[in-house]
Amino acid sequence: MVSQLSIIVSKELYIKDPISSELGEKILSQGLILMHEIGLEDFNFKKLSQKINSTESTIYRYFESKNQFLFYLFNYYWSWMDYKLALAVANIEDPKTRLKRAIKLVTKTVEDDLTTNYINENLLQQVIMVESSKTFLSKKVDEENKLGYFKLYKNFITNLSTILLEINPRYPYYSSLVSTIIESVFHQRFFSQHLPKLTNNISQDEQLEDFFFQLCLQTITNYNENGKNESF
């Protein structure tokens, strides 16, 4: 019943590890489904407890708040993506191909990974798309950062930055560019579904990939160190 995958979410992110019991796995899997269905704002442990025929207080023995539950999903996602990134670029030498594969990974629609029965990765991606920026856009961000809630996200950004720097080690804004791409992938996908005027109909993975790969490659390869002082 317990995962073979090395997706590890640290102890700060739960009271009792949900993947340590069947009930916990049910909380996770059904919690994800419910959050996908009704959104973070309307999601609560009472509704979830009804869905799984348990009680609110039981769920509170696993997660101290719905916020912590969201952070659990958030860290799970980035841990899983980090593992996927390592796989995607393993044994590939050419820097541009490595970048291309990395961008493909972050822009592609994920399918459910059937080795984990307690997480539907496709739903997880959709939930993270909509809810993830709410993890940091709050007054509690500094506190939560100290608790390590953003560790796996920062880790992923760092690992992806390394790939950019292989192409141009002198590009100075590597982390900013990567975090821009990552956040924007979610926004562009969301916009194409709900506010299409803000995009150019790049709902398909291929177009998303083309847009971000070119943006990234052109930006890092053509960076002009004297650009700041250039006058037009």
Per CB under 8 A, 190 contacts a copy of itself: yes
Q: Running DSSP on this structure, what letter comes out for residue 11?
A: G
Per CB under 7 A, 57 contacts DNA: yes
The stretch near a copy of itself (CB under 8 A) out of 1-9, 21-29, 113-121, 222-230 is 222-230
Site string for a copy of itself, 90-129 (x = CB under 8 A): ----x-xx--x-----------------------------
Per CB under 8 A, 166 contacts a copy of itself: no
Per CB under 7 A, 54 contacts DNA: yes
Site size with a copy of itself, rule: CB under 8 A: 59
Per CB under 7 A, 65 contacts DNA: yes
Per CB under 7 A, 66 contacts DNA: yes
Q: Report the alpha-carbon distance of residue 156 to residue 97 in Å, rounded.
A: 19
The stretch near DNA (CB under 7 A) out of 42-50, 129-137, 162-170, 199-207 is 42-50
Q: Report the alpha-carbon distance of residue 148 to residue 154 in Å, rounded.
A: 10
Sign of the torsion angle spanned by Cα atoms 79, 82, 83, 84: positive
How many CA atoms, within 13 angstroms, populate the side-chain half-sphere of residue 229? 2
Q: For residue 177, what are the CA distances in angstroms to 3, 93, 201?
A: 34, 22, 22
3-state secondary structure 170-208: CCCCHHHHHHHHHHHHHHHHHHHHHCHHHCCCCCCHHHH
Minimum distance from residue 130 beta carbon to DNA (Å) = 16
Burial of 28 (0-12, 13-18, 19+ CB in 10 A): buried
Per CB under 8 A, 228 contacts a copy of itself: yes
Q: Provide the 3-class DSSP secondary structure of residue 24.
A: helix
Residue among 11 and 194 whose Cβ is closer to a copy of itself: 194
Q: Which residues contact 37 (CB under 8 A, 6 or more apart)?
A: none
User: Contact with a copy of itself (CB under 8 A): which of 5, 22, 39, 65?
Assistant: 39
Minimum distance from residue 123 beta carbon to DNA (Å) = 20
Q: Which residues bind a copy of itself (CB under 8 A)?
A: 38-39, 41-42, 94, 96-97, 100, 130-131, 133-134, 136-139, 141-142, 145, 150, 153-154, 157-158, 172-177, 179-180, 183-184, 187-188, 190-191, 194-195, 197-200, 202, 206, 210-211, 213-215, 218-219, 222-224, 227-228, 232
